[in-house]
Chains A and B, each alone.
Chain A
């Protein structure tokens, strides 16, 4: 059983704050690490697919880094806005199989 952990479980920040959360995953048999954003009552939306150690991806105010040797990825949100409120999921893609193993997510709430 693959162990994918996310921390913190939940986070409450004010508008304008910058924040970050962590995804840890097995450091062996790595293929890719996915980040998803999941708003309540909507479909999870793919944010990033990261494959290379040291990779850094950016989409607007959101960015992510990847360390495959130590098995962690950080997601950063700069200047949080209320519309950033969602659950952020990471998913580990091992080896050549197509299936993903998900973490439990970090629930972010941004208030005015």
Chain B
């Protein structure tokens, strides 16, 4: 149980285009999902917390107009990188929160490698 699917796993796009990444909880409902970014040899950095039916909460320094997050259902959150530029090239990974608040376990997708040419 507790499977999270993330698509695509790898995407190459031209500078100036937008890219959408999907994060789905397959066998549970997730009112809260998280989006992280990882640069080489660095830790997973939280970008934003996505809450079903409400606006996402962005971490300091993350441009909300650049990284659009939509969480329209209990099983799907999307991250759209708008007008992508080479500096947006990175590894993006989502997670979904399941179960008891005390355990607060996040279940992760496998990530998306974005390369902007």
Which residues does A use to contact B, with CB under 8 Å?
A: 4, 31-32, 34, 36, 41-46, 49, 51, 89, 93, 98-105
List, in ascending order, chain B residues with CB within 8 A of A98's CB: 32, 49, 97, 101, 104
- Given the known interface contacts A32-B104, A51-B102, A100-B106, the answer about A105 and B43 at a Cβ–Cβ threshold of 8 Å is yes
27 A-B residue pairs with Cβ-Cβ distance under 8 Å, sorted by A, are: A4-B43, A32-B103, A32-B104, A34-B105, A34-B106, A43-B6, A43-B108, A43-B109, A43-B110, A44-B93, A45-B108, A46-B105, A49-B103, A49-B104, A49-B105, A51-B102, A89-B44, A93-B104, A98-B49, A98-B101, A98-B104, A99-B46, A99-B49, A100-B106, A101-B46, A102-B45, A103-B43
CB-contacts of B16-71 with A (<8 A): 32, 34, 36, 41-46, 49
Query: Total interface residues on B, using CB and 8 Å?
Result: 25
Q: Is the CB–CB distance between A41 and B105 below 8 Å?
A: no
CB contacts between A and B, total, < 8 Å:
50
Asked if A102 and B108 make an inter-chain contact with CB atoms under 8 angstroms apart, the answer reads no
Chain A residues near B108 (CB, 8 Å)? 36, 43-45
